């Protein structure tokens, strides 16, 4: 049960179950959203160039909306967010296996 005024959210167990059942590219999209708190359009607007592995940051430069790439919703939306270690490891393992890192699903 949620505390009064608490926003609805998935539990860790629910997120794990979703990720276990999701196929690519949805698994990556859901994982990025869960680990960063980005809006859906921001996740879909990401490209590989937005991922800064050296600084462990995800840069928000655009947002996807009905198959179009637009500017971010607000100026403060452009602030980079931390790249969680599990997300960094996931991307690193994808690139080490020679697979393309999923990017820009709106085109």
Express each pLDDT in 33-48 by its tens digit: 998 989 889 999 988 8
Helix (H, G, I), strand (E, B) or coil at 85: helix
Over the chain (107 residues), the average pLDDT of each successive run of 10 is 78 93 88 90 88 90 88 78 87 57 43
What is the structure's pLDDT at 8? 85
What is the structure's pLDDT at 58? 92
Integer Cα distance of 35 and 20 in angstroms: 15
What is the structure's pLDDT at 96? 56
- Give the global pTM: 0.73
**Joined tokens for residue 46:** 């990401």
**Kind and range of the H or E run holding 17:** helix 12-21
Integer Cα distance of 83 and 78 in angstroms: 15
**Joined tokens for residue 34:** 């869960």
Integer Cα distance of 61 and 59 in angstroms: 6
């Amino acid at each position: 049960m949620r505390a009064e005024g608490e926003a609805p959210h998935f539990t860790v167990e629910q997120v794990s179950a979703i990720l276990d059942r999701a196929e690519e590219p949805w698994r990556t999209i859901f994982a990025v959203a869960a680990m960063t708190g980005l809006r859906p359009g921001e996740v879909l607007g990401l490209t590989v160039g937005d991922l800064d592995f050296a600084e462990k940051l995800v840069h928000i430069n655009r947002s996807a909306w009905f198959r179009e790439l637009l500017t971010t919703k607000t100026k403060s939306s452009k602030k980079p967010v931390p790249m969680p270690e599990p997300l960094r490891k996931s991307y690193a393992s994808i690139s080490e296996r020679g697979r393309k890192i999923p990017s820009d699903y709106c085109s």
